[in-house]
A and B are shown apart, each in its own frame.
Chain A
Amino acid sequence: MSNEIETIKDPGLPAHVHRRTDTDPKAAQRAERQVAILFLLSALGTVLLIGSYIFIPQDIFIFFPVLGNTNAHQLFLGLGMAFSLFFIGMGAIHWAKTLMPDEEVVIQRHEFRSPDEDRADFVKAAKDGAAAAGLGRRSLIKRTLGLALGLAGLSPIILLRDLGPLPGDELSKTSWKAGTRLVTDPGDRPIRAEDLEVGAVAQTLPELAAGGHRTLADIGKDAVLLIRLRPEEFNLDAERLSWTHEGIIAFSKICSHMGCAVALYEQQTKHLLCPCHQSTFDVTRAAKVIFGPAARPLPQLAITVDSEGYLVAQNPFNEPVGPSFWERSS
């Protein structure tokens, strides 16, 4: 540091300026009254809270500008609580500012560093302790202790094993099988090809066997979106085209990015949009990703019709549905 340059001097703490309440007893009395009024307002707030709780039924609605037609019970209960707390605070602060001493106080800081002899003593004590235990000499003890502690640390991990089953091939399987009917969600009604006009969509799930139960985990893998286009609008290879039926194409509704339900279908552009992260899929090109973070198309379900004319799956999905995971091969 350049000490030779003369810096501007610290003029020191400015002289204390008295408040009006310090010099004028009338002002002090006024401040006292103001504080009292604030505390009284708080008391009124609590009265409002109790009154609202007891006397305002929960189904009364009052119109207020900005808020709209508002539940009076909830509003006045809350306002009562807000006033009761807020004005205690205002009163206390106003009291502290106007009537409690406002002369600033100076205290000195102490250095955090311990004196040298204390530090030396500490180092010595630590060294002596270590020497007395013989950690340095008895390396066998040191090593086995390390081993024991390290292994003991494993036990919580071992004990958490039963949190859940191993994934197995769960992530790659859905309930769709060859011949499973597509039924409406909600409603569980099977769908015929002619039920869908061009431009129509339908949210579907696999039909349940009699007495079967559908869990949310099932829906999370099985949800399928049906879309009907004009067959000539497709731009698919022969195999994928054979997975459609008279212009009806079926995709997994579970986003290949992070698993949100992709059901936002734009009829004119034939695009599917995921509302979570805005991945956009082109339906005419087998749900190819044309925008956003998703890296894979939505899995396509091969469909056809059964003998009664209802839409069914030709085959199970030929790839896992939903977000990627380590064991996924493509």
Chain B
Amino acid sequence: MTARERIAGNVANYVDERTGAAKWMKKNLTKVFPDHWSFLLGEIALYSFIILLLSGTFLTFWFDPSQREVIYEGNYEPLEGLKMSAAYASTLHISFEVRGGLLMRQIHHWAALIFMAAIVVHLMRVYFTGAFRKPREFNWIIGVGLLTLGIVEGFLGYSLPDDLLSGTGIRIAEAIIQALPVVGSYLAFFAFGGAFPGEAFIPRIYTVHVLLLPGAFLALITVHLMLVWYQKHTQYPGPGRTEKNVVGYPLLPVYMAKAGGFFFIVFGVTAFLGAVASINPIWLYGPYTPGQISAGSQPDWYMGWLDGLVRMSPPLETHAFGHTISWNILIPGLIVPGILFTGMALYPFIESWITGDKREHHLLDRPRNAPNRTALGVMSLTFMLVALINGGNDIIATTFHLTINQIMWFSRIAIFVLPPIAFVITKRLCLSLQRADRELVLHGRETGRLVMMPHGEFVEVHEPISAEKAWLLTQHEQNPALALEEHDSSGVRRPKALKNKLRARMSKAHAVAVPKATAEDLKQIEHH
């Protein structure tokens, strides 16, 4: 036994005698993780969060979250002698006087954008592969919660420097609060400590940004990961992979080295962006005052869709009985996002209600094998994309020589027309892919080799596919639609008949599929 092994043994002994951890560790160090690039998307989000904690802590050492008016006397000459808030001045100080300060600011902001983008692509992976199904519904809801909190946290974060661009964003947020029926103006005055902008808002959102929400993130992320750990990771279908097993690499050493290494990769890429690409150049925006504004005032990308929805809203306001309701703010700013996010959070339950499937699922779906779900996902993404494009319509207009009015009208129509079209196209595409899979299993791969038959006809040689491939293309279940009787056996209409009818119709749409190839089909072909 070498000295090193002896020390390791002693440490393990010391810890185990006090915690009994050996049993737990034994079980978990050999835990197996399936390997696939798409399983790393959530890790990108997790690592970005750690980067955000580290870089954010650095920034707090110099940032002064105060709206007290100061005169700027720092290094950046084009702002010399101007009145501004202490928050803005201290952000300039971090950028131009603290060495590495600008780098850290840029790393922090890039990490935030990567964090949100990673959450979205991770969510897309989970959705399109059906990883949210039983038993993982809770984790799906936590994920939707993290996405929502991320949007809020990001908005509060970029609002802290109190520059002209973010101040405009706060102004819009205040208008949304103020538009709430009955309580709006009260809530706005409480949030801002008086009339907008006041001097209270930035100190308050600072506490929320650096304490309250990061605490909530830590708690939710911990539960999110513990559930992944406990429930074990899902895996893609393939030979030897079943609902009952997990095929992959053990935590120690392979997965640990890869995941640990990937943290450094994410940090490295973020630092690279922070080094080479400018982000949120607040010294160019100038300090906030409500009387100024810049052309092309946009939020960060994860709020862009919201801004796009607000832009395309029709000018609707109700004035009655001495009161005003601003539908042009409430519908795009609160009601539509509320419906979207609630629907997203409830989707696992909706789908299981439609299919009547209450079993556990650990093997992922190939998106083509769940055409309805895939089409619904692409439809939602199309909706978001149209909204996002409209959120940048002024930049798009000047870049591509279009007019903002054209893009606005395009968006107003496209937001209703394109998502259903996307649904239909995607569903058909999925079914075509299923048909192609069936052909591939039954008739093999086209080799591109032409052979002349004795009687002069040319035929292409087809090569049978491997047993592994054939299994991958046929392993999925094809369940029939739910059979829901409108009438019971004695012909009496059941209560809830309408609900059942709806459910039956959706279930039928969900079960549409091209019959997969079976061994029977193969035998029949061989006989010919």
Contacts and interface: CB of A to CB of B under 8 A. Distances in A.
Chains A and B touch each other in the complex, with CB atoms below 8 Å apart: yes
A10 B471 contact: yes
A171 B264 CA distance: 51
Nearest to B405: A291
Nearest to A7: B518
Interface stretch (A114-122, A123-131, A260-268, A307-315): A260-268
Contact of B32 (A105, A254, A276): A105
Contact of A105 (B100, B247, B267, B470): B247
Interface string B407-424: 010000000000000000
Interface stretch (B151-159, B179-187, B490-498): B179-187
Given A294-B315, A324-B324, A106 B246 contact: yes
Interface in B343-388: 360, 362
Nearest to A107: B32
B25 to A, nearest CB: 16
Contacts of B268: 81-89
Interface in B320-338: 322-326, 328-329, 332
Interface stretch (A25-33, A92-100, A138-146, A230-238): A92-100
Contacts of A323: 174-175, 178-179, 326, 329
A96 B258 contact: yes
A277 interface: yes
Interface in B177-232: 178-186, 188-198, 200, 231-232
Nearest to A170: B195
Using C-beta atoms within 8 Å of the partner chain, give the interface range for chain B.
35 or more
Interface in B292-323: 292-297, 307, 310-317, 319, 322-323
Given A82-B268, A330-B319, A292 B408 contact: yes
Nearest to B85: A216
Interface stretch (A71-79, A148-156, A188-196): A71-79
A74 B97 CA distance: 12
A205 B520 contact: no
B311 A90 contact: no
A304 B429 CA distance: 68
A203 B289 CA distance: 13
B315 A295 contact: yes
B153 to A, nearest CB: 20
B393 interface: yes
Nearest to B268: A86
Contact of B198 (A106, A167, A217, A276): A217
Contact of A93 (B257, B317, B441): B257
A109 B180 contact: no
B248 interface: yes
Contacts of B519: 6-9
Contact of A96 (B184, B253, B271, B471): B253
Contacts of B322: 327, 329
Contacts of A86: 264-265, 267-269, 271-272
A293 interface: yes
A330 B121 CA distance: 45
A216 B289 contact: yes
A326 interface: yes
Contact of A276 (B168, B193, B313, B326): B168
Contacts of A76: 275
Given A93-B262, A293-B314, A329-B319, A106 B328 contact: no
Contacts of B260: 92
Given A100-B254, A102-B254, A275 B295 contact: yes
Max chain B CB contacts within 10 Å: which of A12, A78, A92, A205? A78
B239 interface: yes
B78 interface: no
A91 to B, nearest CB: 7
Contact of A257 (B175, B323, B441): B175
Contact of B257 (A77, A95, A165): A95
A85 B264 contact: yes
B172 A258 contact: yes
Contacts of A87: 268
B324 A325 contact: yes
B518 A6 contact: yes
B196 A217 contact: yes
B245 A100 contact: no
Given A292-B408, A323-B329, A11 B468 contact: yes
Contact of A165 (B194, B274, B471): B194
Contacts of A326: 180-185, 323-325
Interface string B159-183: 0000000001001101110111111
A104 B294 CA distance: 57
B197 A220 contact: yes
Contacts of B307: 277
Contact of B275 (A6, A79, A170): A79
B249 interface: yes
Contacts of B311: 277-278, 292-293
B467 interface: yes
Nearest to B293: A261
A67 interface: yes
A81 B264 CA distance: 11
A286 interface: no
A83 B263 CA distance: 13
Contact of B261 (A7, A90, A166, A278): A90
Contact of A259 (B30, B171, B181, B319): B171
A185 interface: yes
B310 A293 contact: yes
Nearest to A79: B275
A223 B290 contact: yes
Contacts of A203: 291
Nearest to A91: B261
B189 A77 contact: no
Nearest to B243: A109
A105 to B, nearest CB: 5
Given A73-B99, A93-B265, A277-B310, A11 B329 contact: no
Nearest to A4: B520
Contact of A327 (B242, B263, B323, B471): B323
Contacts of B316: 295
Contact of B518 (A5, A88, A170, A277): A5
Contact of A325 (B178, B194, B198, B262): B178
A203 B453 CA distance: 87
Interface string B92-111: 00001001101100110000
What are the 7 closest A-B residue pairs judged by CB atoms, nearest first? A78-B275, A86-B268, A13-B240, A92-B261, A89-B264, A220-B290, A295-B317
20 contacts: A5-B520, A6-B518, A6-B520, A8-B518, A8-B522, A10-B242, A85-B268, A92-B261, A106-B246, A112-B231, A163-B190, A166-B189, A171-B185, A259-B171, A275-B394, A293-B313, A322-B175, A326-B183, A329-B322, A330-B319
Given A296-B317, A326-B180, A330-B319, 17 more contacts: A8-B518, A10-B239, A76-B275, A78-B103, A78-B274, A78-B275, A81-B103, A82-B272, A88-B264, A92-B264, A93-B265, A109-B243, A163-B200, A170-B195, A171-B195, A295-B328, A328-B324
Interface of A: 1, 5-14, 53, 58, 67, 73-79, 81-93, 95-97, 100-102, 104-109, 111-112, 160-161, 163-167, 170-171, 185, 203, 205, 216-217, 219-221, 223, 253-254, 257-261, 263-264, 275-279, 289, 291-296, 322-330
